[in-house]
A and B are shown apart, each in its own frame.
Chain A
Amino acid sequence: DAGVIQSPRHEVTEMGQEVTLRCKPISGHNSLFWYRQTMMRGLELLIYFNNNVPIDDSGMPEDRFSAKMPNASFSTLKIQPSEPRDSAVYFCASNRRTSGETDTQYFGPGTRLTVL
């Protein structure tokens, strides 16, 4: 079975440009998470969706960041305009929430974003 798919794997852009990161969760999973990883701050949850609905976006750094999940098999994270401090690895993760348990989140390979 395919795991979580993210694209692009690497993105280099200039400050001020719009960046769109894409994620395809594992088929059958109904929760999707966007994380940002940096050396200084580690793994930070940005936003998560359950059944395509944003549940908690308190981790989104500012209005320049937005995320959508138009259907169960696709999500985007957009940064507009991008800034050098947005440089990080962005991970998408998914899981299938059923009553009573696990948070076995499956992570994608990540998108390494560099903003010059």
Chain B
Amino acid sequence: GQQLNQSPQSMFIQEGEDVSMNCTSSSIFNTWLWYKQDPGEGPVLLIALYKAGELTSNGRLTAQFGTTRKDSFLNISASIPSDVGIYFCAGRAHSGYSTLTFGKGTMLLVSP
């Protein structure tokens, strides 16, 4: 089945630093999504990408849909303590009733 490789697994940074994480796939996806999960909660959608090459921002977050359609990147600028959580990428390969495939997540810790 499809698999998403998400890296890094975890990051421990200082407040104010920028963060980058990425997802790669062995197969093509036509949708990429980025979710954040806070402790004890379910994942919440941050950014959705629908076209190869698309670059989309949501506040301090910026995500890109790779031109090969096999990867996506999420950047967080000027991190703050509330950015702590697990970030998941998810991809959808086909339209219609296809489901999402999730990466294993990147745990982000931010030191004040």
Contacts and interface: CB of A to CB of B under 8 A. Distances in A.
Interface of A: 4, 33, 42-43, 45, 48, 50, 55-56, 91, 93, 100-110
A8 B48 CA distance: 30
B92 A109 contact: no
Interface string B43-60: 111001010000000000
B48 A56 contact: no
Contact of A103 (B33, B41, B103, B105): B33
A109 B40 contact: yes
Contacts, number: 50
A38 to B, nearest CB: 10
Given A33-B99, A45-B99, A4 B31 contact: no
Given A56-B99, A103-B48, A110-B40, 9 more contacts: A33-B99, A42-B104, A42-B105, A48-B99, A55-B97, A93-B42, A104-B33, A104-B45, A110-B41
Given A42-B104, A55-B97, A91 B42 contact: yes
Residue among A43, A45, A102 having the largest count of chain B Cβ atoms under 10 Å = A43
A109 B43 CA distance: 8
Contacts of B50: 101-102
B97 A56 contact: yes
